[in-house]
Structure 1
Amino acid sequence: MPNLERLELGFNLIKRIEGLGHLPKVRHLELNNNLIYRLDDASALQKCVPKVQELNLHNNAVCELKGYRTHVLRKLNELTVLDGITVETGERESASDTSRSITVDLLKTHGHSRRRPVSSFGRGARSQEHPETQSSIEARSPNDLVRGGGDDGRWWDEIEELDLDHFHLRKLHDLERLVHLRRASFCNNELMRIEGLENCVHLQELSLEDNKITKLENVDALVRLTKLELGKNRITRIEGLETLTALTQLSLEDNEISSLTGLSSLTSLMELYIGNNRIAELKEVQQLRTLPKLIILDISGNELCRTTDSRSYVIFHLRKLKVLDGIGIDLREMNIAKERFAGRLTQEALVERLGHSYFEHVLELDLSRSKIRELEALHAYAPSFCNMRELNLDLNLIADGGAIPFLPALTVLRLNHNQISTIPLPPASGSWKGIICLAALEVLQLGFNQIVDIPSLHVNRLPNLKVLHLQGNEITRVEGLTDMPQLRELILDRNKIKALDAQSISSLSSLRELRIEENGLRTLEYVANLPHLTTLAIGTNRIADIPELEKLDGLPSLQHLALANNGVARKQLYRPTLVRQLPSLRLIYARE
């Protein structure tokens, strides 16, 4: 459309103008009531419609930005009407001649040889008066710079503070000789880069807020920096801060940052202001866990704050925080956060434990002693753990036996010292999860939980189970072990089993080892008829009489017998009785 002169695009959802194309003859352009929010689009208009005379951007977010009208007039030289308001000659001339350079006179006038009160320099407390209307250095104090600055060059070494806010500066230059500069402010200018400060190695506070900076760079030499303010710029990534280990306050609010990576080296950081950026994932907060001194954090206005329980999540993972988003953190909030998030196995924690995220290569996973209640990450990435053979969850806080995800190759599962009481059957329909779905499982350890009865575990649904540990529970009867001909090892120590029933273990034809110590067992009835049993541990029970030992004659393969701390072990004839009854016996352990 090379001959188009009028274009109306109002009341749409336009955010950017790059795709407008080159329209050299357009004189009237309507872009009102859209979603345009960046001053950069004025530069795009300069390329697309260089001859435009009437432009309407009314009711776009960009109209609210500081310097909007001046910026547009500077870019579009032939504009006569902007947003329905006629462009006057004086306004156009003012817009085209606003930028300034850093001169010697500017440095002499706005440099200071000693620190002024905090109210005149610092975050949120700078004077809003234009520097040109403030008194010069000579009129402030006889202790400031040498009057008139002198011509011997010594005044360069005397400047410790420099305040060049609101000067429309486009570039930092000619600052190399300010080697003793400690505090500098260049807010509300038009700077696009951080540069020219490499020699200012004594700089402690630097403010570059409200500029057009797109990249964090050229600050690695400023190793004494304790305060850095870069709010209201266009920075997209945190980088280049590795050497700033003395930094205690960092302000990056109102930028375009999407990740919190790049802060790990700031070990002295106490305050971080990064609100109104583009951080969407709540897990990004984990990047701040390496900051040992962080006590004040502002992330308000980011997408992640819309996540349910985002505040509690941050409080839980950053335990030393005292203030979050301008609100103090009290004990009640800390307790709520702990209750909500304690014991959740997150993806971040899982990756941290493994040291990588290549889950398909994991054969063994040790998550013991981790205070885990929920296996959130394991459920989310269960298909990726397709080759895992062994999972250790000992000494955690897991209460739901059905919470184990489906891991098709898992053969060993350790759940000792948890809070499991039952293992529910999986629902008739729905996703596969729970211990009962682990068809390849051969070893299941459930010692020291809250198990009262074995049938509620449904372990006879595990077709390949060979080893079952149930010590340290509250079991009173041995049942629910039928149809388990493959079981070879059964541990029932430290329960409350007084006797076995006829059906307790009679079907365990492959059993090699049986341990029932510390139970209060009074009789050995129904322990027989286990043709492959080689080890029997029944120490610390209440077996008192030799006739009870004669009930073991149905154990033709028994080689090791533990009888310690039973009354019968004090009888004189107990050993001959056992030798006669069990010809394969090799070891009798009966010491008190």
Structure 2
Amino acid sequence: MDHSVIRKMRSPGEVYSSELQGCCDCSQRKTLWYVFDRELVLPEYLIDFEYVTQERSQSSCPPKAPAAPDDVTPGCNDEQALDEQVLSLQPVPKPRPKLLSLDESSVLTAARANVLSQITVLNLHGNSLSRLKEISRLTALRQLIISFNALTHLDDVSHLPNLECVDASFNQIVTLEGVRGLPRLRELDLRWNQLSRVREETSVLRKHTPSLLRLHARHNPWSQGESVRMVVLGQLKNLTHLDGVLVTEEEVAAATHVNSTSKINLMLLLSHSRTDADRPRCLSLLTVAQLLTHLKPSPWKHTTDLEPGWGAKVTALNLDGQRLSHISNLEQLVNLRWASFNNNQLTHIEGLQHCPLLEELSLNHNYICTLEGACKLQRLTRLSINSNQLRCLDASVLDRLTNLHFLSAEDNCISSLQGVQRSRSLFELYVSNNNISTSRDIYHLKTLSNLIILDLYGNPLTRTLENYRAYLIFHLPSLKALDGTAVEMSECENAKDVFGGRLTADMLAEKLGQCDYREMEELELPGCSVRTVDLAPAELFVNLHSLNLERNNLTSFSGLVYLPNVKVLCLNYNHIESILPRQKTHTHLSSRQQLYQKVHSSGYGQQISKSSSKECVCVESLEPLMCSLEVLHLGYNGISNLSDVQLSCLSGLRALFLQGNEIVQVEGLDGLSLLRELVLDQNRVKTLSEKWFSSHTRLIELSLNDNRLRSLTHLQLTHLQRLHLSNNKLQDITELDKLEVLTSLVELSVVGNPVARRSLHRPSVVLRLPQLQVLDGITVTLEERTRAELLCTEDTPSCVDGAFPVVLCRAPPARNSE
């Protein structure tokens, strides 16, 4: 029975006859699809096929009208719900183990073979392979698929005599050097890799893949841009298809002409050389070699007129635009001083070892990727190598160029200035339009004391570094011009204000000579004029436990509060006014405060955020900070108001040293409930308040030496074990009687007080404090304690309740420590 096919979409009532298939966008041709992961194949839409006979189609019965949405039966609703559920399925691919390395068993498994010598096709697509160690053993291999891996080289794809097709797309291949012995390779796919040197890579293919017919090389960062096709066709003349496009004879002829190179011969030397002894006295952006060849004619008229030693007279040579691929035949130019080889096809600096007097060399617009070859030019003063393929500045080469004053390496691929610090005589450095991105590279220039002109225009650093210009001017004070603009005196002053005294990771690298901050546990930077701290990111200093910043210019903790694990912090001899900077009024400021009012100390994050939210902090709203900090030294900071310092937010403190300040009232320490040792020596404390130490229930040592105490009232510290009160103004021995409430006291010092003259206080103190073990640095012996009790009972029976009488007897001698 003859049937016709009707295609029906899931939408109710919509019917399309076979007559419409001719105008349908979909093709009925068979197509072969490769699916690497079947779980990713899901329905996009559903189609119902209904077969209708001719008898039914020719019947007189009119077609049934489409049903209205309200008339849909419940069964249709269920079917539509099921369809919607199917269409909303999400892909759930099964995890497939990836090969990280190859061995014999994994190769056999991937190829589904028993013997390596029988494998002709090997598919290693979509793994994480960085090496192909076992591939060279597959002598019968004809097709290799290694796409979507992590390969950077193809050294292992060598010496495979039967290999015909290789797919190495979607890797990170940076060079083809190492590819050897592929005589039958006919097709190579290198798309989406990191190849950049088209001449070097095609030279490798021309030498080691003589049968190559098809090459795919798109989506690589080729440096030649639009001329890549011409360069490739000029090198690989057997190609029939390049990037999927048929190669025509006209293209091959044009590419051959473009890529034809010339050699330095006698005629070229005679027509482009000059013999002037002095450089032209005129202002020009051209090199000396270019100027001389433009201003004066060649001194050589005929090759037959050449006299012996003519080459020694040549001082200038201009071979710009001569399609040179190598520098050679310069053996006779022993006195050459100025040379230019711009706009050629050079890949290396070579052939100049016979020109030891060369002073100026220009190699712009070539394909040079290293400075190697220039190290013997020790008299070189000017080197221009713009628009090449340099990735770094070789320190070993620059170290030998001791007279180099001018270096221009613009429009290259340089990512770091590491190495340029070896060029100590440099006056001018031009490295614009490169890939320099970190502020740390600027520290490589700080040793160049003669550097006066610097050009970094077009580098990522100029866009990402906030206050970029001020940053460079501050770190390179000798600069007279930056990025083509003169450095003004006002800019120098502004740079000092913004960056002076800032402690950063770059500053540490410069001072300490190391960059692995994660291994740093202690850091000593006393007397370094540090004004702000910006150690970002703080995660780099995760193991830093002890930090000494004595004798600096800090006015707040600034970026120190972000260091995660610091336990000991020493900030003696600074100008600390608060933990976090606060907005201050300009009235009623002391002279010292007015001086440091001008010092900006917002610290951490100063370059990252322009918000001033960290600079204005309300003391009452402070949350706990630096929870790991246990020991803090704030001696000799001129602190007068302890509450303003905001120490209560350092809730983890165990020991606090505040000696040598101007403290009168011990306030603002309520949050230090874990405090065990407090040092307040050399301050201005006169009296004690009941509220001062009420929250310090764990305090075991208190030092108030060299203050102005006259009374010991309100000293209610039941766990206190050591109390130091030397050099105060305690006169009445009854003040010492108030220490009876210190039931845990084992050590007491009152030397230098009026009450301690001639040590007449000892018997009374020993008797009042039975647990005391050391008094004024001398151990209290059992003999001394017994004598004190006898004196008390003999002199007056009321001595226990009243004041202890004056005992006119010599104090026991100090006990020998031995």
TM-score where L is the length of structure 1: 0.74
RMSD, aligned CA: 4.2
Rounded to whole Å, the distance in 1 between the matches of 2:671 and 2:291 is: 88
Match of 1:437, SS state, is coil
Question: Shift of the alpha carbon at 1:314?
Answer: 1.1
Q: 1:338 aligns with which of 485, 496, 501?
A: 496
- Secondary structure of 1:315's counterpart equals helix
Partner of 1:219: 374
Flag the 1:18–1:50 CA change in 2: closer, same or farther, 3 A: farther
Match of 1:255 among 375, 390, 412: 412
Bigger RCO (CA 8 Å, 6+ sep): 1
Over 3 Å counting, the alpha-carbon distance change for 1:511 and 1:149 in structure 2 is same
Matches for 1:541-556 after TM superposition, within 5 Å: 541-544=728-731, 547-554=734-741
Q: Bigger shift: 107-116 or 279-288? A: 107-116
Deviates further, 122-131 or 356-365: 122-131
2:407 & 2:509 partners in 1: Cα distance?
Answer: 28
Question: Would you say 1:135 and 2:297 are equivalent positions?
Answer: yes
Aligned to 2:801: none
Which residue, 432, 443, 449 being the options, matches 1:286?
443
Stretch deviating more after TM superposition (233-242 or 456-465): 456-465
Aligned equivalents of 1:50, 1:121: Cα separation in 2? 52
What is the distance in 1 between the residues matched to 2:289 and 2:754? Answer: 92
The residue aligned with 1:414 is 570
* Rounded Cα–Cα distance in structure 2 between residues aligned with 1:262 and 1:572: 71
Residue 477 of structure 1, CA deviation: 0.8
Deviations 1:426-453 (A, max 9, x none): 99xxxxx999333333212222335444
Distance in 1 (CA, whole Å) between partners of 2:224 and 2:368 is 20
Task: Tell me how far apart the structure 1 counterparts of residues 437 and 564 of structure 2 sit (CA, whole Å).
Answer: 34
Q: Is the 8 A contact 1:401 1:434 kept in 2?
A: no
Q: Which amino acid counterpart does residue 682 of structure 2 have in structure 1?
A: R
Q: 2:253 is matched with which residue?
A: 77
Please report how far the alpha carbon of residue 105 of structure 1 lies from its aligned counterpart in structure 2 after TM superposition. Answer: 4.0
- Hey, what's the Cα distance between the residues in 2 that align with 1:106 and 1:485? 88
Deviation at 1:23, TM superposition (A): 10
Distance 1:424 1:164 in 2: 65
Match of 1:398 among 554, 565, 576: 554
Closer, same or farther in 2 for the Cα pair 1:223/1:537, shift >3 Å? farther
Whether the 8 Å CA contact 2:425–2:448 is kept in 1: the answer is: yes
Deviates more, 1:261-270 or 1:488-497: 488-497
Aligned to 2:286: 124
Pick aligned residue for 2:482 from 295, 305, 324: 324
Q: Within 2, Cα distance between the matches of 1:483 and 1:134? A: 86
- Partner in structure 1 of residue 626 of structure 2: 438
1:486-525 to 2 correspondences below 5 Å:
486-505=674-693, 508-525=696-713
Structure 1's 434 and 413: CA in aligned 2 closer, same or farther, altered over 3 A?
A: farther
Give 1:322 shift.
Answer: 1.7
- Cα distance in 1 between the residues matched to 2:686 and 2:625: 32
Q: Is the 1:101–1:169 contact (alpha carbons within 8 Å) kept by the matching residues of 2?
A: yes
- Is contact 2:273–2:293 with CA below 8 Å preserved after alignment? no
Letter in 1 for 2:286: G
Aligned residues: 514
Asked if 1:389 corresponds to 2:389, the answer is: no
Describe the SS at the equivalent of 1:398.
coil
Q: Helix, strand or coil for the counterpart of 2:493?
A: helix
Distance verdict in 2 for CA 1:23–1:199, change over 3 Å = closer
Cα deviation, 1:362-418, whole Å, max 9, x if unaligned, reads: 32233443333443324x133x43333222233333334464344554321222233
1:282-309 residue CA offsets vs partner (Å, 9 max, x unmatched) = 4322222232321211112223222332
2:776: which partner in 1?
587
Match of 1:56 in 2: none
Aligned pair 1:299/2:475, yes or no? no
Identity of aligned residues (%): 35
After TM superposition, the structure 1 = structure 2 runs for residues 18-33 of structure 1, keeping only pairs within 5 Å, are 19=191
Kindly state the Cα deviation for residue 467 of structure 1 after the two structures are TM-superposed: 0.9
Alpha carbons 1:404, 1:434 under 8 Å: kept: no
Q: How does 1:262-277 map to 2 (within 5 A)?
A: 262-277=419-434
The superposition leaves residues 261-320 of structure 1 with CA deviations (integer Å, 9 ceiling, x where unpaired) of 221211111111112223233432222223232121111222322233211111112122
After superposition, residues 458-537 of structure 1 pair within 5 angstroms as: 459-460=647-648, 462=650, 464-482=652-670, 484=672, 486-505=674-693, 508-527=696-715, 529=717, 532-537=720-725
Name the aligned partner's letter for residue 479 of structure 1.
E
Q: 1:132 to 1:469 in 2, by over 3 A?
A: closer
Contact 1:253 1:275 in 2 (8 A): yes
Query: Per-residue deviation at 1:236?
Result: 2.9
- Asked if 2 retains the 8 angstrom alpha-carbon contact of 1:258 and 1:278, the reply is yes
SS at match of 1:391: strand
State the Cα distance separating 1:574 from its structure 2 match. 5.6
Look up the match of 1:172.
Answer: 327
CA distance in 2, matches of 1:335, 1:213: 41
Q: What whole-Å deviation, never above 9, does each CA across 1:78-118 have from its counterpart, x for those lacking one? A: 69xxxxxxxxxxxx9xx669854322344345444443333
SS across alignment from 2:503: coil
Indicate the SS of the match to 1:290.
Answer: coil
The residue that corresponds to 1:370 in the other structure is: 528
**Bigger Rg, which one:** 2
Q: Which amino acid aligns with 1:335?
A: E
Alpha-carbon separation, structure 1, partners of 2:260 and 2:517 = 58
Residue 454 of structure 1 pairs with residue 642 of structure 2 = yes
* Residue ranges of structure 2 left out of the alignment (5+ in a row): 1-188, 193-211, 215-222, 582-612, 615-620, 779-818
What corresponds to 1:86 in structure 2? none
Question: For the Cα contact (< 8 Å) 2:364–2:384, is it kept in 1?
Answer: yes
Deviation at residue 490 of structure 1 after TM alignment: 1.2
- 1:364 and 1:97 mapped to 2: Cα distance? 61
Superposed displacement of residue 528, structure 1:
6.4
Aligned mates of 1:472, 1:38 — CA distance in 2:
73
C-alpha change, 1:575 and 1:316, in structure 2 (3 Å) is same
* One-letter amino acid of the counterpart of residue 180, structure 1: N
1:321: Cα distance to partner? 1.4
Q: Is the 8 A contact 1:316 1:334 kept in 2?
A: yes
After TM superposition, the score normalised by the length of structure 2 is: 0.55
C-alpha contact (below 8 Å) 2:705/2:724 kept by paired residues: no
Instruction: Please report how far the alpha carbon of residue 498 of structure 1 lies from its aligned counterpart in structure 2 after TM superposition.
Output: 2.1
**What is the alpha-carbon distance in structure 1 between the residues aligned to residue 579 and residue 546 of structure 2?**
19
- Match runs of 1:342-353 below 5 Å: 342-353=500-511
SS of match in other structure, 1:137: coil
User: Equivalents in 2 of 1:337, 1:437: separation in Å?
Assistant: 31
Listed as ranges, the matches of 1:138-217 within 5 Å are 148-150=305-307, 152=308, 154-217=309-372
Query: Partners in 2 of 1:121 and 1:192 — Cα distance?
Result: 31
Q: 1:122, 1:194 → 2: CA distance?
A: 26
Q: What is the distance in 1 between the residues matched to 2:329 and 2:700?
A: 86
1:309 aligns with 2:497: no
d(CA) in 2 for partners of 1:134, 1:424: 71
| SS class of match (1:184) | strand
Which residue of 237, 240, 245 maps to 2:402?
Answer: 245
Report deviation, 1:155. Answer: 2.5
| 8 Å Cα contact 1:119-1:125 kept in structure 2 | no
Shift of 1:200: 1.9
* Separation (CA, whole Å) in 1 of partners of 2:706 and 2:364: 72
| Pairwise CA distance, 1:38 | 5.1
The residue matched to 1:338 in structure 2 has which SS?
A: helix
